[in-house]
Amino acid sequence: METFEFTIKGGDFKSIGYVSNTIKKIMHARNINPRDSRRIAVAIFEVETNIILYATQGTISVLFDNDKITVLARDEGMGIADVALAMREGYTTASDDIRRLGFGAGLGLSNIKKNSDITWISSIVNKGTQIVLIFFLTLVL
């Protein structure tokens, strides 16, 4: 197993997409199926975007196994008051500034769930959020 860790600063809008694209390049180098590679990168893109937009700081760890990839994300920040509600498409608490950047449509968490095989989200208001995602890789015969 190999692990890659990233530290993320809240409010660092310019770095949105850096972690997901770095992991995508690693997956490409390891010949991971392009469909898997895309769905994993999309989920990580949404996770890192959420940390940058809504938290003060956070970390993302990506664990590579032969048959699966696990993403662990932890952040400190405002947290999510109602995770079930936040999972609904269209529900958003985004500011106008966030919308001007092209985010905040209320699709992030539902898109994370759609692209991962196992999704676990736990959050405490004014403390932070923890997310665990597991992606089972398609076997290439």
Partner 1 sequence: MKKITDWQYICMLILNNLDLIMQIKEIAKTLDATIVVGDEATLSTEVKYGFATDLLSDLLKIDKNKTLLITGLATIQTIRAAMVMDVGAILLVRGKKALPEMIELARQNQMVLMEYKGSMFKACGILYQAGISPVY
Residues that bind partner 1 (CB under 8 A): 13-14, 16-18, 20-21, 24, 34, 38, 41-42, 45-46, 101-108, 111, 114
How far is 105 from 38, CA to CA, in rounded Å?
Answer: 20
Query: Rounded to 10 degrees, what is the CA torsion of 65, 17, 54, 137?
Result: -20
**Between residues 99 and 127, which has the closer beta carbon with respect to partner 1?**
99
**Between residues 13 and 125, which has the closer beta carbon with respect to partner 1?**
13
Q: How far is the CB of 46 from partner 1 (least distance, A)?
A: 7
Q: How far is the CB of 59 from partner 1 (least distance, A)?
A: 19
**Between residues 112 and 137, which has the closer beta carbon with respect to partner 1?**
112
**Between residues 49 and 66, which has the closer beta carbon with respect to partner 1?**
49
With b for 16 or more beta-carbon neighbours within 10 A and e for fewer, the 5-21 pattern comes to: ebebebeeeeebeebbe
Q: Tell me the chain's radius of gyration from C-alpha atoms.
A: 15
